[in-house]
Structure 1
Amino acid sequence: MSNKDSLTRFGVSMPEELVARFDQMITEQGYDNRSEAIRDLIRKALIEPSQMAVSQTVAGTIVMVYDHHVSELPITLMELQHNYHHDIISTMHIHLNHELCLEILVVRGQIQRLRELTNLIHIQKGVSYAELSVTYIDQAESDLAHRGHHHA
């Protein structure tokens, strides 16, 4: 936060037990005060994929865990990635054990397409986990879209 940002003070009421657990968590994470921790929680909530407009351009990761012994699954996942190659920047493949693989796709594109890709991965037989995590929102593009300007 820059020095130019104005701050708004507000109160939050919580049960004592919840406050104690929160204080313990933020101390363990190294926060100096509750305000810093709450700001980070709010920032994280605001980049939750479910909270974004379908046309919003974002960057992040899709993490998946799957059983590579399931018939045709590795080929299906590779074909999906080829179908979305404009949205995938990089991939990392890790062998967790003899059966399971963890794959990380670094992605950038419209949230609607990235959600679609994540869902297509998740519904495949043999995929036990697939999640989209957004870590960056293209704010400049968002601001232009809100003013009605569109660029090719």
Structure 2
Amino acid sequence: MSELVRFSVSLESDLLERFDAFCEAGKFATRSEAVRQLIRERLTTHAITADAANVAASLTLVYDHHKTRLTDRMLDVQHAHSQWVVSSMHVHLTHDLCMEVIVLRGPAADLQSLAAELSGMKGIHQAQLVIIRADESGTPHHHGDGPHSHTH
């Protein structure tokens, strides 16, 4: 068993309240157990996609659009990586919050790096990257009208 290491995390009080409710609903013995499980799940997801050369993904960001220059910085990053950005959609959730859904396609490691760059910006409240394998080998697949080969 590896050595136990302590570290601290700063959270907004409302986020901590929601996390505590998550811990209680999940019957976690402690916050630490919940954090360990969340980290393991995230690392497992990362490992699954790390070997995938080419993937498609959606990155969903919820953010405070009043945060100074956040929207500009988000757009700058997307333009800097335009070879991977397929499309994006902007949704107004509340007076203060917006959601951006960005569709991506490219090497898994590069998309994960792009997602990390965007989700780490100050003012981002929530970020979720969903990755699927997108093999471009031209292997036959089925759309309901018979198997055929092509790339999408």
Shorter-chain TM band? 0.5 to 0.7
Distance 1:49 1:59, change over 3 A: farther
How far did 1:54 drift? Answer: 5.2
Corresponding letter in the other structure for 1:125: K
Match of 1:73 among 70, 75, 91: 70
Corresponding letter in the other structure for 2:71: P
Q: Does 1:100 align with 2:97?
A: yes
Greater RCO structure (CA 8 Å; 6+ sep):
1
Corresponding letter in the other structure for 1:73: L
Contact preservation (8 Å) 2:52, 2:133:
no
Distance 1:110 1:76, change over 3 A: same
- 2:6 aligned partner: none
Task: State the TM-score, normalizing by the size of structure 2.
Answer: 0.57
Q: Does 1:86 align with 2:83?
A: yes
Larger Rg computed on CA atoms: 1
Corresponding letter in the other structure for 2:98: C
Work out the number of aligned pairs and report it.
Answer: 95
1:3-152 mapped onto 2 (5 Å cutoff) = 48-53=45-50, 56-138=53-135, 140=137
How far did 1:60 drift? Answer: 1.8
**What is the alpha-carbon root mean square deviation over aligned residues?**
2.1
Secondary structure of the corresponding residue to residue 50 of structure 2: coil
Identity %: 32
Task: State the TM-score, normalizing by the size of structure 1.
Answer: 0.57
Gaps of 5+ in 1: 1-46, 142-152
Q: Segments of 4+ in structure 1 off by > 3 A?
A: 47-50
